[in-house]
C-alpha cells in the first residue's frame, strides 16, 4: 500500500479508537489544533514519563521546572522572537490560499529528488542484482540533468535565505514555474515576513493593558529561571533544567496531522556548561538522545541526523534527529549548542547579572548552553506511525485483516484487558476480582461485550499488549488464558503469576537499562 494511503488510514484509526480528535470538531474544527482522546492522553503521558524520568531520574545533575506560559513581553524581545521569529509567506491571488515560500521551494527540490529516485528504481528493476546505483547516478544523463537543476536551485535558495532576500524568493517561485496546488495558477503576491507568535492582552484597558505573547518555545522559561534554580538547588556547572509544556506558533502551513500544529507541547532541556566545553557536551547529548529514540525498537535505519549547515546567529552547532514518517524523513528533535546568547541577552535586557561563579577557576562567567528540544506530539506521531500495522491472519479457514497497534508495551495506554468468556456463571465477578487486584499497578480494561474474537481485535486496535480470559476452568483451578498481542499466542497461567508477567513487559526500568 502507498505510504500516503497508510498515513490516511492511521489518521482515521487515531480518531476511531480515541487517540486524536480534531479540536472543536462539532463546529467544523479549528485548523492545526487537535485534542487527545481517552487512549491518546494515556500514550502521551507515557511518552512524557519516558522523557522526564530519563532526564531527571537518570541524571543527578538535571532537575525539572514548570514555568508559566505567560511571561514578561521583554523576554521575547531579548530572545529575538519579536524581531526575527518569522516565516516568509506568499498568497495565491486566485485561490486566496497562503503558503510558506520556503516550503514551496523545498517541495520543488523534493520533486527533482523524486524524479531521480524514479529513474534509479526503474533501472534497478531492469538490471536486478547487477545494478550499481552509485555508477548509475553518476552517469545517467536524465539523473545528471535533474541533479544539476537541484544543485542550482538549492544554491539559489540558500543564498536567498541567508540574505533574507524576499524578492529573490518570489523570483525563484516564478522562475521554477511553481503553481498553486488549488488554483493551478502562478498568480502570486510578493513574499512577506509573518511573525509566528500569538499575542493577547493582560489587564484591563483602563489600567493600560500589556501586550503579551503565548510562548513559542518553553526554553525561555528555563533561561529566566536559571539563577533561581542554580541558587536554590545549589547546582554546580555542568547542570541541566528540564521542562515539559505547551508552546504556540501561528504556523502558516499546518499539515500532516499532528506533525505541525498551532498549539503543541515541547520537552526541552537546557544544559549549562563552562564556555569552551560546549561542543563536547553537544556530542554527548546528541548520542544520549539518539539512544533514547532507538531504545523503543522502531529500527535504527528509521533514524538519521540532519546536521545544520546554516546556523542561527547564536548557535555554534545544531543537529536534528529525523524519523522516517510515512511522508518521509522529518525532524522530531533538535539538539543545539546555543552558546551564551540567551543568558547574555536576558542579562542585558533585565539589567540583572546572570553569571556563575566557578570555584575551580575562581572567576565568574555567563554559562554556555546545550539544548535538547523534542515535540511531544511529533514523538506521539513517531510512535503511532511505527506501531500501526495491518496483517493478514487466518481464522476459521478465512483470511482476514487484523489492524494492530504494535506499541511498545511500556507506552501502551491500556496494559491488559480482562474478559469473562460468558456473561454468567460467576465469570464476570471473577474477572472484576482480577482487575481489582491489578488496577493499582496497571491500566486495566474490563470487556464482556461481543465474541471473544471481536474483543481481541478491539484490544489489538488500541494496542493492548495482554488480554486475559476468564473461563469456567478459572473457577476451579485459579488459572486464566493470557493472549499476547503481537504473536496472538496464548498461555494458560495462574492468576497469581499475572502481575509478574505483565510487570516484566511494561517496565520503564527495563527500558531505561537500554540507555546506559
Ligand atoms: N527551543 C528550541 C526550539 O523550539 P524548534 O526546532 O523550533 O526549536 C523543537 O522546535 C521541536 O519542537 C521540534 O523538533 C518539533 O519536535 C517540535 N515542534 C516545533 N514546532 C512544532 C509545531 N508547529 N507542531 C508540533 N511540534 C513542533
**Residue range 248-275, pLDDT digits in tens:** 999 987 778 999 999 999 999 999 999 9
Question: What's the domain range around 343?
Answer: 1-69+211-402
What pLDDT does 204 receive?
73
Of 86-90, 281-285, 352-356, 378-382, the least confident: 86-90
User: Do 32 and 148 lie in a common domain?
Assistant: no
User: Do 458 and 508 lie in a common domain?
Assistant: yes
User: Do 231 and 364 lie in a common domain?
Assistant: yes
Residue 310 pLDDT exceeds 90: no
What pLDDT does 207 receive?
66
User: Do 398 and 419 lie in a common domain?
Assistant: no
What pLDDT does 314 receive?
87
**Residue range 106-134, pLDDT digits in tens:** 999 999 999 999 999 999 999 988 899 99
Cell of 198: 500569538
The conformational region for residue 435 under phi > 0 = left, psi -120 to 50 = alpha, else beta, is: alpha
**Residue range 482-512, pLDDT digits in tens:** 999 999 999 999 999 999 999 999 999 999 9
Residue 31 banded pLDDT, cuts 50, 70, 90: very high
What pLDDT does 289 receive?
98
Domain boundary among 355, 379, 402: 402
Domain boundary among 333, 367, 402: 402
What pLDDT does 205 receive?
64
Residue among 113, 133, 114 nearest 123 (CA): 133
Question: Does some domain include residue 202?
Answer: no
Residue 77 banded pLDDT, cuts 50, 70, 90: very high
Residue among 104, 99, 74 nearest 194 (CA): 99
Domains held by the chain: number: 3
Residue 445 pLDDT exceeds 70: yes
For 85-120, the DSSP string reads -EEEEEEBTTT--EEEHHHHHHHHHHHHHHHHHHHH
User: Do 271 and 154 lie in a common domain?
Assistant: no
Measure 81 CA to ligand 1 centroid, in angstroms.
14
The residue among 379 and 254 whose pLDDT is bigger is 379
User: Do 418 and 386 lie in a common domain?
Assistant: no
Residue 175 pLDDT exceeds 70: yes
CATH at residue 65 = 3.30.930.10
Q: In angstroms, rounded to a whole number, what is the distance separating the alpha carbons of residues 299 and 155?
A: 33
% of residues, the chain, pLDDT over 90: 89
pTM: 0.90
Question: Does some domain include residue 44?
Answer: yes
What pLDDT does 290 receive?
98
Q: In angstroms, rounded to a whole number, what is the distance separating the alpha carbons of residues 461 and 407?
A: 10
CATH at residue 107 = 3.30.40.230
Residue 28 banded pLDDT, cuts 50, 70, 90: very high
For 372-398, the DSSP string reads EEEEHHHHHHHHHHHHEEEEEEEETTE
What pLDDT does 236 receive?
97
CA 266 to ligand 1: nearest atom: 12
Question: Does some domain include residue 409?
Answer: no
Question: Does some domain include residue 80?
Answer: no
Measure 266 CA to ligand 1 centroid, in angstroms.
7
Question: Does some domain include residue 74?
Answer: no
Residue 309 pLDDT exceeds 80: no
**Residue range 331-367, pLDDT digits in tens:** 999 999 999 999 999 999 999 999 999 999 999 999 9
Residue 26 pLDDT exceeds 90: yes
Domain boundary among 125, 160, 195: 195
User: Do 225 and 189 lie in a common domain?
Assistant: no
249 lines ligand 1 (CB under 6 A): yes
251 lines ligand 1 (CB under 6 A): yes
Question: Does some domain include residue 75?
Answer: no
**3-state SS, residue 218:** coil
Measure 160 CA to ligand 1 centroid, in angstroms.
23
Question: Does some domain include residue 203?
Answer: no
What pLDDT does 161 receive?
86
332 lines ligand 1 (CB under 6 A): yes
User: Do 141 and 232 lie in a common domain?
Assistant: no
**Residue range 42-75, pLDDT digits in tens:** 999 999 999 999 999 999 999 999 999 999 999 9
What pLDDT does 206 receive?
63
264 lines ligand 1 (CB under 6 A): yes
Measure 375 CA to ligand 1 centroid, in angstroms.
6
User: Do 187 and 306 lie in a common domain?
Assistant: no
Residue 2 banded pLDDT, cuts 50, 70, 90: confident
Measure 52 CA to ligand 1 centroid, in angstroms.
17
The residue whose CA has the least distance to atom 6 of ligand 1 is 334
Buried b (16+ CB within 10 A) or exposed e, 99-130: bbbbbbbeebeeebeebbeebbeebeeeeeee
User: Do 183 and 316 lie in a common domain?
Assistant: no
CATH at residue 445 = 3.40.50.800
User: Do 233 and 374 lie in a common domain?
Assistant: yes
Question: Does some domain include residue 5?
Answer: yes
User: Do 398 and 421 lie in a common domain?
Assistant: no
Cell of 82: 519579536
What pLDDT does 311 receive?
82
Amino acid at each position: 500500500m502507498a505510504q500516503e494511503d497508510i498515513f490516511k488510514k492511521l489518521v482515521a484509526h487515531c480518531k476511531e479508537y480515541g487517540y486524536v480528535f480534531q479540536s472543536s470538531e462539532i463546529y467544523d474544527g479549528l485548523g492545526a489544533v487537535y485534542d487527545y482522546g481517552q487512549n491518546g492522553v494515556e500514550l502521551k503521558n507515557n511518552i512524557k514519563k519516558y522523557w522526564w524520568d530519563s532526564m531527571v531520574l537518570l541524571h543527578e545533575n538535571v532537575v525539572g521546572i514548570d514555568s508559566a506560559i505567560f511571561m514578561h513581553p521583554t523576554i521575547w524581545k531579548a530572545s529575538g522572537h519579536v524581531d526575527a521569529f518569522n516565516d516568509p509567506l506568499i498568497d495565491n491571488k486566485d485561490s486566496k490560499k497562503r503558503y510558506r515560500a520556503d516550503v514551496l521551494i523545498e517541495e520543488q527540490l523534493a520533486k527533482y529528488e523524486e524524479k531521480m529516485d524514479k529513474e534509479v528504481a526503474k533501472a534497478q528493476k531492469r538490471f536486478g542484482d547487477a545494478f550499481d546505483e552509485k555508477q548509475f547516478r553518476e552517469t545517467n544523463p536524465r539523473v545528471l540533468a535533474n541533479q544539476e537543476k537541484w544543485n542550482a536551485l538549492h544554491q539559489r535558495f540558500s543564498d536567498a535565505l541567508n540574505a533574507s532576500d524576499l524578492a529573490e524568493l518570489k523570483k525563484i517561485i516564478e522562475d521554477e514555474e511553481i503553481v498553486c496546488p488549488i488554483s493551478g495558477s502562478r498568480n502570486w503576491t510578493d513574499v512577506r515576513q509573518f511573525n509566528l507568535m500569538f499575542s493577547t492582552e493582560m489587564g484591563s484597558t483602563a489600567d493600560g493593558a500589556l501586550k503579551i505573547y503565548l510562548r513559542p518555545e518553553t526554553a525561555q522559561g528555563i533561561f529566566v529561571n536559571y539563577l533561581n534554580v542554580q541558587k536554590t538547588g545549589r547546582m554546580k556547572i555542568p547542570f541541566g533544567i528540564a521542562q515539559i509544556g505547551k508552546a504556540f506558533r501561528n504556523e502558516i502551513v499546518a499539515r500532516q496531522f499532528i506533525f505541525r500544529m498551532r498549539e503543541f507541547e515541547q520537552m526541552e532541556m537546557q544544559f549549562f556548561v563552562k564556555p569552551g566545553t560546549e561542543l563536547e557536551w553537544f556530542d554527548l547529548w546528541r548520542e544520549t538522545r539518539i539512544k533514547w529514540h532507538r531504545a523503543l525498537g522502531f529500527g535504527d535505519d528509521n533514524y538519521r541526523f540532519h546536521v545544520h549547515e546554516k546556523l542561527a546567529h547564536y548557535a555554534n552547532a545544531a543537529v536534528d534527529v529525523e524519523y522516517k514518517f510515512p511522508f518521509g524523513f522529518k525532524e522530531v528533535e533538535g539538539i543545539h549548542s546555543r552558546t551564551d546568547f540567551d543568558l547574555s541577552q536576558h542579562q542585558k535586557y533585565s539589567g540583572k547579572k546572570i553569571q556563575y561563579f566557578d570555584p575551580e577557576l575562581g572567576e565568574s562567567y555567563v554559562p554556555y548552553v546545550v539544548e535538547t528540544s523534542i515535540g511531544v506530539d511529533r514523538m506521539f506521531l513517531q510512535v503511532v506511525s511505527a506501531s500501526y500495522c495491518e496483517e493478514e491472519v487466518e481464522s476459521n479457514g478465512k483470511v482476514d485483516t487484523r489492524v494492530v497497534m504494535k506499541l511498545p508495551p511500556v507506552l501502551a495506554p491500556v496494559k491488559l484487558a480482562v474478559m469473562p468468556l460468558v456473561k454468567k456463571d460467576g465469570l464476570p465477578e471473577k474477572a472484576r476480582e482480577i482487575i481489582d487486584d491489578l488496577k493499582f499497578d496497571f491500566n486495566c480494561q474490563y470487556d464482556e461485550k461481543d465474541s471473544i474474537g471481536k474483543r481481541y481485535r478491539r484490544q489489538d486496535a488500541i494496542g493492548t499488549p495482554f488480554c486475559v480470559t476468564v473461563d469456567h476452568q478459572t473457577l476451579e483451578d485459579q488459572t486464566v488464558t493470557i493472549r499476547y498481542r503481537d504473536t496472538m499466542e496464548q498461555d494458560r497461567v495462574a492468576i497469581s503469576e499475572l502481575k509478574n508477567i505483565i510487570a516484566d513487559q511494561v517496565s520503564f526500568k527495563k527500558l531505561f537499562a537500554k540507555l546506559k
